[in-house]
């Protein structure tokens, strides 16, 4: 019994010595950064301190799309890409090919409007030049002539309601100093928003090589644009009429109806959904495209995107099917 107790005492001493060596550092060195419970980033402070400082993740309030998402009810196989996001909860309700690069057509104008709202002023007077002319066959135009003037407010309404491509050039030159400078701002803004699969070559969306985006990147851009009350008001507009002036000060009337066929009554959204507004786009390369801000019966907002539909007769019913996913 005595021998056993002696062995236990020797073992205890050895263990104590080993512990002393470990905690005092190797070769007699001490730590230069000892643990301090008061240090701001210690685990103790993170757990215990109320309102402790912390890094906020970049995508803290954004939907994150890793791959296709489907409840099994919606089948949007006829379109190139589709996405439906709950803005408030940052939840992806549906996604198909959301990260595939595609031509955006006039959905480009959402970024044009966003940059104009950020860097311009609504009462700024814009003057058309010969550089604003667009000669592409079939392109939607307001018919601007060199010397025509209008405010940025008027231009944004014409851009988003009627989708006039020459007005996109007018805005770019007036706000950016040059079309090239404005497009640089568009690409810088895209990067800042995390739209890394996007590259713009012009402010209107007519087809050019190296002009592309994705359904997800359009969600990021549109999600930023709807933070501006002016943008929300414009995309909610069904008809727009205004008067601007030519180089001699003569008035020129403009009056057009939205390109959004939900607002024109050609198609009906689901009964539980209210379409706040959005942007359409159509070119041969892009097909038919649509991005929308909608609300459910509780007023909660949703962003939906469809790219590369073969026709309006396919796109709008498919969009309604997509919106039917809300609330399921």
Rg of the chain taking only CA atoms, in angstroms: 29
Residue 286 and residue 79 in contact, taking contact as beta carbons nearer than 8 Å: no
163 as an active site residue: the answer is yes
Q: Using an 8 Å Cβ cutoff, are 192 and 58 in contact?
A: no
H or E element that contains 284 = none
Q: Of 106, 279, 294, 304, which one is the catalytic site residue?
A: 106
Q: Which of 109, 279, 294, 304 is catalytic?
A: 109
Q: Say if residue 320 is exposed, middle or buried (CB neighbours under 10 Å; 0-12, 13-18, 19+).
A: middle
- 304 is an active site residue: no
Please report the sign of the dihedral spanned by the C-alpha atoms of residue 20, residue 25, residue 29, residue 33.
negative
Instruction: List C-alpha distances in Å: 303 to 43, 104, 273, 322.
Output: 39, 16, 12, 11
Q: Name the residue among 242, 229, 232, 164 with its Cα closest to residue 203.
A: 164
Owner of token pair 């402790």: 52
Active site residue 227: no
- The whole-angstrom separation of Cα 112 and Cα 110 is 5
DSSP run (H or E) holding 246: none
Task: List the Cα angle 258/290/269 in 5-degree steps.
Answer: 75
* Residue 89: partners with Cβ closer than 8 Å, 6 or more residues away: none
Six-digit token string for 272: 């539980």
Catalytic choice (163, 279, 294, 304): 163
Q: Which residues are catalytic?
A: 106, 109, 163
């Amino acid at each position: 019994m005595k021998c056993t107790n002696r062995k236990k005492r020797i073992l205890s001493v050895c263990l104590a010595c080993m512990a002393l060596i470990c905690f005092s550092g190797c070769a007699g060195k001490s730590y230069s950064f000892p643990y301090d419970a008061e240090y701001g980033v210690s685990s103790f402070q993170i757990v215990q301190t109320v309102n402790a400082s912390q890094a906020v993740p970049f995508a803290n309030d954004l939907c994150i799309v890793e791959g296709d998402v489907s409840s099994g009810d919606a089948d949007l196989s006829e379109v190139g890409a589709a996405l439906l996001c709950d803005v408030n909860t940052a939840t992806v309700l549906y996604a198909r090919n959301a990260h595939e690069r595609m031509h955006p057509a006039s959905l480009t104008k959402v970024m044009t409007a966003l940059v104009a709202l950020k860097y311009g002023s609504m009462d700024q007077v814009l003057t058309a030049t010969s550089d604003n002319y667009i000669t592409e066959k079939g392109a939607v135009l307001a018919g601007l002539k060199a010397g025509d003037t209008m405010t940025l407010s008027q231009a944004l309404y014409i851009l988003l309601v009627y989708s006039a491509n020459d007005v996109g050039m007018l805005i770019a030159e007036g706000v950016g100093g040059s079309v090239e400078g404005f497009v640089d701002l568009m690409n810088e803004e895209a990067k800042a928003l995390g739209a890394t699969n996007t590259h713009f070559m012009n402010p209107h969306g007519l087809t050019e090589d190296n002009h592309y985006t994705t359904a997800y990147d359009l969600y990021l851009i549109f999600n930023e644009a709807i933070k501006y009350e002016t943008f929300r008001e414009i995309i909610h507009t069904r008809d727009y009429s205004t008067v601007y002036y030519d180089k001699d000060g003569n008035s020129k009337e403009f009056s057009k109806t939205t390109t959004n066929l939900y607002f024109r009554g050609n198609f009906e959204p689901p009964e539980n959904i209210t379409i706040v507004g959005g942007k359409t786009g159509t070119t041969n390369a892009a097909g038919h495209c649509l991005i929308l801000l909608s609300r459910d019966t509780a007023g909660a907002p949703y962003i939906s995107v469809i790219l590369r539909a073969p026709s309006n007769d396919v796109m709008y019913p498919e969009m309604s099917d997509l919106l039917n996913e809300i609330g399921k």
